[in-house]
Structure formats: structure tokens, C-alpha cells
Structure 1
Amino acid sequence: MRLSTINLQKRLSTHSNQLPLWFTLVAAWLAGAIFLFALAPHGFWPLAIVSPAILYALLVPNMSGRRAFIIGEAYGMGLWCVGGFWLYTAIHDYSDTPTWLALIMIGLMGLGMGLFHGFLALVFNRMVGKQPFSFAALWVLQEWLKTWLFTGFPWLFVGYAFTEEYWLSSLAPVAGVFAVSFVAILLAASLVELLLRRSSYAVVSVLLLAISTSLWLVNPQWTKPKGTPDLSVSLIQGNISQDIKWLTQYQVETLKIYAKLTRTEWGRDVVVWPESSIPMFQDEAAGFISEMIEMANATNTTWITGIPYKDKAAFNASTDKYPPFYNSVIARGVEAEGLYKKQRLVPFGEYIPFEGVLDIFPSLAGSQDIKSYSRGSDQQSPLKVREHNIGTAICYEVAYPDTTRKNAIDTDFLLTVSNDAWFGTSAGPLQHLQMVQMRALENGRWFIRATNTGVTAIINHKGRIVKRAPQFERTVLRGEIQARVGNTPFMLMGNYPILIIITLLLLISYFGKGLTTLRRRG
């Protein structure tokens, strides 16, 4: 047994080039691809350990920077082409894109997003010591970069695989999803080190797991009930097909569907309609909105709905092509007020990046057919509902940990509205729901989620799904939610603690490798 372990260590350490490059790339691609099954709806979390462990094992041997980069790129392509394949439905089914072109676009997306792991592998190979701490630190760094670089696409984080594994996700209220990712990756790399008979790293991993498990066992209550009666809520799921949702001739029918579903819900404390459930601007639906407000007031109900909001008052004819408009949520009815404007917009879906460049082309300049949503301020007041403050996130805003954290400050519970009809029966909507669970856990708040086609759900402050509606059904989800007060450590400090830790680890690893190199030369 000892001889076989020594032989394994030698093969990994000094003879990497004996493995054909094509074999290594296939292994890396498959390692990235299997990560999908660690996330919802599959939930086989051990693959969130196995997948990065394989990449670590492939990168440990001595190799050129070029080889390391393409191994990382192959892993990233497998991760995104498979884990993000739900985008195919939106591209192919709802954008009239031919199958071959949609597949090419998914491949290009994987190629682009794979660069994050490509550069991770390059830096790991050339600039820092090859050990679990630097690997885990680089992994978290690239996850964090995905929250803002090139507008951000914060998806497929390792920490999400452990959302309902509280022996590890108990770290989330303390330091966020990145802390969960860090410990998981450290554990994955340490398992490889165990095979190499370098157990010191495993000791530290076990220690961090012990801390996380202790938090789970002790079960600290970072937030507490406000002491007010629970609110009765009704979440309306209209199940409007994306094919017809924005068709002018179907707009009135959409309003009728939501009004009919809500007819039996007036009298509840809060009724919530999903993102853009009113498929027209507020001035175009003024009469209908007035009717809903009258009904809400008459039945002592608060009504919250998603709606495109046009701000005519902010329009300047000399500088603007059209009045700014926003993907918004409004609160109306009894003891309700507020307007929330979406901050994180979807590139090409809600706005055209570098739209001003189009003015260079005469055929496109000033085109009124090309319009972008405006971005809401990052300093918005929460919605007011029955003496409670509600933090709001629209659609994929909830994928941004820091945006949701800021919106959660000084609130009693959280709300997200979404329209995931774009992604059909793919894993996308379920991965999206899993992120909402993590945000609830990070911020110690109940989260209500109203969607067009699902998954509509009520989630408690521990990230557990209390109730959920079936997907692709026209239905109403009824439940009770608890207002909570107080701040989790994550709400107070955000990502700063984990970012400071990984920065220190990378600096230590960088200078440590430099000193080792100097000693060898000396």
C-alpha cells in the first residue's frame, strides 16, 4: 500500500506529461460537467467536492503555463456548457435561433466563462504555491469576480451545492456563500493531498469543518422574531406562456387571468403578483391599477406587483431618446407604499451594452426599436407594508449576494419576483430558487418568491423551503411569513472578511513560493 501511494505521488508530481493532453482535457471537461448534478434539482452535493478535486489533481503536477491554462479552460467549459445549458431554451425556443446556432452560442458562452478557471489554473501553476489554501483562495476569487466583472454572471458557485447541508452552510450567515465555497474547495484539495500522504492540509480542513459543524449544532439565532403577528400571504402564479406574454393582443387577457386568480385572495394581509405580471407601463394600465387598489383597500389587503415603470418626469427631450423606464415592483393598498427599481439588469435581455456605439451606424442611430431599461439606484428605500419594511430583488438580482445584502438592511422580510418562463423545464429555475434559499440564510430573513411559471415558494430564515407551488400550473400559493429583526454578521460585514482572508493567503503563497525559488537557486 505504501509503495502504491509513493508511486501515485511521483506520477502526479513529476511525470504529468506522460498523460496525453487530449486525455487530460477530456478529464477536466467531464470534471466540470458533473458539477451540475451537485446543484438543484439533483442535489448530489458530494460531486461539489469531487469535481474541483479532479481539477486540483490535474493541476498539481509540474507543467507549462499554457498546459495549465487550457486544462482550466476545459474544466470551465464543461462547467458552463452543461451547468448553464438552461440558457439554450431561452436562445433557441424564444429567440427563434436555429438549433446549430444556439448550440454554438452555448459553446461560446462556455468558452468565455471558462476563462475564469483558465486564469485560475494559470495563476495557480505559475504564481503561487501549489497547495489547497492557494487553490481555494483562487477559486473564491474567481467566483467573486463573476459578481461584477463585465456586469457579472454569478452562477454555479460551489457553495450553493451545500445550501441545505447545514453542517457547512451554517457559515453563510457569518461570511456568505463564498465562505461555504472556500471550505468546500479546501476540503476537496485536501482529499487529494491525503492521497499524496500530505495530511497537514487535511487537518486544517477538518478544523474548519468542525467550526462550521459547531455553528450548526449550537444553532445561534443571528436574527429574532419581531414580535408582531405573522402575515398571511398569497403568491399568484399566472403561468403565462412566454410566447404570448408581451403580445399586445394578449395583454388584457393576462390582466384578467391575474384578477381572476386574486378574486379569492382579497382579505389576506399581502397579495403578490410576479415580475412584469402587468405587461404594460403604469400609465397604460392606470384604470386597471386603480381598480386593484380599490379592491385592496376595501378588503384590508396590501397588493404588490411587478410592472414596467416609465418615469416621464425624468425625460429630457434634448438629451434623451425616450423616457427612462424600469423593471419595477410597486406596493399599493392598505398601509402600503413604495416603488423599487431593478438595479442589476440582464445584458441583451434588458439593456444593450455599449448602446451609444450604435449611433456610429446610420441605419441604427436613434432607432426607437432598440430601447434599454434604465438601472435603478443602489440607494433605494424598502417597500412599506403594514408597518414592515420589505427588501426587494427582481429576477436574477437575487444571484448577487451583496446586492441582496444591502437591500436586506433595516428590513423585516425579503421579497423576490421573477419570470423564469424563458428557461422552460430546464434546471435554470431550480438553480435560481436555490440561490434564494442561500440569500435567506445569509440574511436571516424569510423570503417570499412569486414567479410567473415557477418556482413560487415561501422560504424561512434558515433557507428551508416552507411551501412551494408546482411549476407550470396556474395557481395560488398561500402561507404565513414571520417578520424578523437583527443583523447576521454577513449583513454587517458583507464579503470583506472572506476577501481579506483569501488576499492574505494568496500573498503568503506568492511570497512563500518566491522565497523557495530563491533558496533553490542559492
Structure 2
Amino acid sequence: MKSLATLRAVSAPALAFVAGFMHAWAIASPLGGQPVWWLQLMALTLLVILLDRCRSATAAAWLGSLFATCSIGGSVWWLYISLHVYGGLSSAMAGLSVLGLSGFLAVYYALAGAVFCRLRPRGPAFRSCLFAAVWLAADLLRATLLTGFPWGVGGYAHIDGPFSALAPWVGVYGIGAAAAFVSALLAAVLVRPAQICGAWQPLLVVVLVVVALGRSHEAQDLERAPAVSVTLLQANIAQEQKFESATGVRDALEWYATQLMAASTALVVAPETAIPLLPDQLPAGYLEKLRSHFATGQRAALIGIPMGRIVEGYTNSVVGLGPGADEYRYDKHHLVPFGEFVPPLFRWFTRMIKIPLGDFESGAVGQSSFQWSGNRFAPNICYEDLFGEELAARFRDKAYAPTVLVNVSNIAWFGNTVAIDQHLQISRMRAREFERPMLRATNTGATAVIDRFGRVTDLLPRHTRGALVAQVQGSKLITAYAWWLSRLGLWPFWVLVAAVLTVAGRASRE
């Protein structure tokens, strides 16, 4: 008996370790970059089984933390490249930084494991509700506290799976909660086969709800915006050269200017910091030449460029050029900690890394869209598309809601890694949630056109130079998720979590 207990004590952390990496790989498989929805369910099911065997909340917190550290670290390991290769940190310091970030974010899931162990009821249905609630709470805390960093939450694994039908109703966090609920039901059946009678009914309800919501949404009349031709540019400028005046800067200025003025489509989009200099640092007449080119005719451009001045403050921006007196401008709102702004008490860390332009000003939430060719194009910059609750602010008034989403990015900081695939899945989920096509113009990939169902219709090979020419069909339909998220934010999820925890707490005291 003693040896069996020892074996269990050793095997539980090992299984949590494996399950955590399974969860990371489910978001974008390292074997091809595609999401694997069933692998995410397997990973969570294994975690629930391990938590169910814990005899104390402390043990459950430890396993939840280990699982989440491996899951998060396995998702964002490529931060090591930006910190070590481009940021100049030693390999040890860069590795510890990634591990520290993963461990910090894992605290939310440690708390979820402890609460689940402390309050877990006996019935499989209610137990599954509790696990879904605590897992949802952990995802929400990760998404909101300290500017938030929900990269790699489990819901993204389901963009191609059956749960994707829930996206226009409850978004990625609702999908994650539904997956957690099903995983807990599967765990209950595997651990206690006699409970199958109490588990198949709620499982059937989930299946029927998913099918019904999917069909009801597909039955809605699509309000189309005019189709428009687009060109998406991808210069593939190496990150180590991007801000070097004699190489990357010169190359960017020449190539993008040529491509912007040569494009024959209605809209041409250049990625984040395609023009890598502030306006007063550019060669004389450079911007004026572009403005003059698009001031007449039937073509327009969205161009990534930092705006402002070093002394007065600057923004990571997208400028819209086209016929008309007013020039459009979008300023990035959700800035990247350390890369684009310095969190309080961390200037010592930023002095250790060598990333240029690291102290941007932030734009407002819900900025206006670029109106062109019968559509409203709503830019977002780099990982801003990770925060659907902020993008949703633009959907509050249907008359001004975007018809097409546009993401401009430069994730060359992270090399030719799975980060490119993960970011593509994030954009696909936003397209599915809001029923809007998404245009992605990036420096190294993935430059793509995504339709309103989250399907990639056109894609440039990563780490190549080229221009992607395609057609995009805008949409005016407001999804249920866009409607309530734009008005209530994430609060309905918190109300749901509080309700489940309240009932579970009362039941545990009886």
C-alpha cells in the first residue's frame, strides 16, 4: 500500500506535466500548426482525473499550477527568441523570464484547482459545472488582470471543432467553459463508470445545444456589404535588420512604397510598422508622395507606421490614405508590456533588453473604422485581436459597426515558430465570433484572408516576400456575442461563475 501511494504521488505530477504540454499543442500543433480540439479535451480530462484524486486543496493547487505552467510555457516559449536573440538577454535570463511569466499566470489555475477540490460536489453534472466555472474564472483573470495575457487559452483549440458553433454566441471563453464541462463529464465516467447514467444526460444536452445554436445562427439572413478587392503586403524583413538604417529601413521604405503605388486593387494593406520611422525621420517628401498617389482615383491604403515625435510621445498606428480631405488614423490601444510600454517598477528590466520604440502612448478603445468602397474597415495591431472584448466596443452601434476586420502585425520577433500559427488561430476565432472577415497583413506571416466563418481562404507562404491579392465580402450582421459583449463586457461570465460558486459553497456546508 505504501509503494502504491508513492507511485501515485510521483505519477500525478508527471501526468500533469504531460497533460499541460498536450494542452499547449492543442492550440496549434507543432507538427503542422493546426488546432486539435480533441487533444484539448483529453488534456483537461486528464487534469480533472488528477484533481479528483487529490486529498487536499493544496495538492490540487500544486497540480493545477504545474499543468498551467507547462501549458502556458508550451504555448509562449517563443518569447525566449525575442528576449535572447533580439532583446540581448542571456539565454539563462531569457529562459527564466519565460518560466517566470508562465508560473505567474499559472497561479490563476492553481486557485481554480484548489477551489474545485474544496467544493467539489458528488454528482457528475454539478461537479462538471463547478469545474467549468473555476476554469472560466481562471481564463478571465488571465485575460484581464495586469493588462491581460490570454494567449493560448483552451477555447482557441476549437476553432475547427464542433464547439466552434458556440463562437457567435459566447465567444472563446464560453467555448473554453463548455470544453471544461464536457471534460469533467468524461473524467467522471472514466473514473467511476457507474456514473455514466448521471453523465450522459448533461452531455447530450451540451450536444443538442451546440447543434441548435449552430443551425439557428446559420439560418439567419446575412446582411452583406459590397465585395472589395484587396492586396496584402508581406516584406519579410528580418527582425535584426528591421530598424537598421542601412539595411532593413532602406529596404522597407523602397519596397513598400513601390508595392503601395503599384497595387491595382481597391485597398492595399501594409503591416505593422511597415514604415519603421516616425514621420519627421522619413526622407523629405516620402509621406507626401504616398498621400498624393492615393488622393485621386479609386484606390486606398492602410499603412502601419509609428506616429508622433520622440519628445512629445508616439503611437503604434495605422494610417488610412484615400481620396478625400481627411486622413484616417488608428492608434493601438492594447500595448505589449515591456515591448511597447514599461510597467511600473520594471524599468530595470527594460534597460536590460534592446528593443527599440519601447514606450508608446495608448489610443482609445472603440476607435472609428476606415470607410472605403462601401465597407468599414476596422484595424487592430498585432496581438490586439487577442482581446475580443475590446474589439467588440466597435459593434455597439450597428450603423457604425465594422464590416471587415484588419489585423496588421509584425511577429518576426519570435522567428519562424508556432507563434505564427497560434496568432492565425486567434484571428480566425475573432472572425467567427463577430461574423466578420479578417484581413491579415504581416511582415513574415501569416498574411491571410479569413472569411466570416473563420476559414482561411487565401494565404501567403510564411517568411517569403510577396503580395496577396484577393476578394473579401464584408458583413453587417451583428452576432449575439458582439451585441452583449459590446454592452456588458465580460461581466455575464463573472455573474455565471459567482452563481455556480455560491451554490457549490452552500452545498459543501450542508
Report if TM-score (shorter chain) is over 0.5. Answer: yes
In structure 1, what is the Cα distance between the partners aligned to 2:315 and 2:102? Answer: 30
Distance 1:95 1:371, change over 3 A: closer
One-letter amino acid matched to 1:326: T
2:298 paired residue number: 300
In structure 2, what is the Cα distance between the partners aligned to 1:16 and 1:189? Answer: 25
Q: Give 1:312-323 correspondences, 5 Å limit.
A: 322-323=311-312
2:363 paired residue number: 376
State whether structure 2 residue 234 is matched by structure 1 residue 237: yes
Distance 1:280 1:449, change over 3 A: same
Distance 1:16 1:444, change over 3 A: farther
Choose which of 14, 17, 23 in structure 2 pairs with 1:35. 23
1:327 paired residue number: 316
3-state SS in 1 of match to 2:469 = strand
State whether structure 2 residue 14 is matched by structure 1 residue 26: yes
3-state SS in 2 of match to 1:224 = coil
CA contact (8 A) 2:225 2:375 kept: no
Q: Give 1:216-255 correspondences, 5 Å limit.
A: 216-220=214-218, 224-228=222-226, 230-250=227-247, 251-255=249-253
In structure 2, what is the Cα distance between the partners aligned to 1:128 and 1:338? Answer: 54
Choose which of 406, 424, 448 in structure 2 pairs with 1:415. 406
Distance 1:82 1:269, change over 3 A: same
Q: How much does 1:512 deviate? A: 1.3
1:70 paired residue number: 62
Q: Give 1:248-267 correspondences, 5 Å limit.
A: 248-250=245-247, 251-265=249-263, 267=264
Choose which of 145, 160, 170 in structure 2 pairs with 1:149. 145
Choose which of 286, 289, 295 in structure 1 pairs with 2:287. 289
Choose which of 207, 210, 224 in structure 2 pairs with 1:209. 207
3-state SS in 2 of match to 1:28 = helix
In structure 2, what is the Cα distance between the partners aligned to 1:324 and 1:263? Answer: 30
In structure 2, what is the Cα distance between the partners aligned to 1:305 and 1:244? Answer: 20
**Identical-pair percentage:** 26
1:400 paired residue number: 387
Which digits, 9 at most, give the CA deviation of each residue in 1:268-322, with x for residues without a partner?
Answer: 100100000011112333621111122223442101101111169xxxxxxxxx3
Which digits, 9 at most, give the CA deviation of each residue in 1:220-268, with x for residues without a partner?
Answer: 255723353x110000101111001112333233110112333431x31
In structure 1, what is the Cα distance between the partners aligned to 2:366 and 2:105? Answer: 30
Choose which of 33, 40, 43 in structure 2 pairs with 1:51. 43
CA contact (8 A) 2:37 2:160 kept: no
In structure 2, what is the Cα distance between the partners aligned to 1:150 and 1:311? Answer: 27
Which digits, 9 at most, give the CA deviation of each residue in 1:482-520, with x for residues without a partner?
Answer: 1211310011111444433333222211211122xxxxx
Q: Give 1:430-469 correspondences, 5 Å limit.
A: 430-469=421-460
1:347 paired residue number: 337
One-letter amino acid matched to 2:203: S
Larger of the two Rg values belongs to structure: 1
In structure 2, what is the Cα distance between the partners aligned to 1:16 and 1:496? Answer: 45
Which digits, 9 at most, give the CA deviation of each residue in 1:124-151, with x for residues without a partner?
Answer: 1224537111111111111111111111
1:315 paired residue number: none
In structure 2, what is the Cα distance between the partners aligned to 1:477 and 1:443? Answer: 24
Q: How much does 1:16 deviate? A: 9.6
5+ residue gaps, structure 1: 1-10, 313-321, 516-522
Q: Give the total of aligned pairs.
A: 482
Structure 1 length as normaliser, TM-score? 0.87
Distance 1:281 1:111, change over 3 A: same
CA contact (8 A) 2:225 2:403 kept: no
One-letter amino acid matched to 2:482: M
2:109 paired residue number: 117
CA contact (8 A) 1:191 1:202 kept: no
1:502 paired residue number: 497
2:166 paired residue number: 171
CA contact (8 A) 1:351 1:371 kept: yes
3-state SS in 2 of match to 1:283 = helix
Distance 1:358 1:439, change over 3 A: closer
Distance 1:203 1:460, change over 3 A: same
3-state SS in 2 of match to 1:306 = strand
In structure 2, what is the Cα distance between the partners aligned to 1:16 and 1:324? Answer: 63
Q: How much does 1:99 deviate? A: 2.6
CA contact (8 A) 1:159 1:178 kept: yes
CA contact (8 A) 1:392 1:407 kept: no
CA contact (8 A) 1:383 1:389 kept: yes
Distance 1:16 1:119, change over 3 A: farther
In structure 2, what is the Cα distance between the partners aligned to 1:445 and 1:413? Answer: 6
CA contact (8 A) 1:334 1:386 kept: no
3-state SS in 2 of match to 1:81 = helix
In structure 1, what is the Cα distance between the partners aligned to 2:156 and 2:220? Answer: 20
CA contact (8 A) 1:337 1:385 kept: no
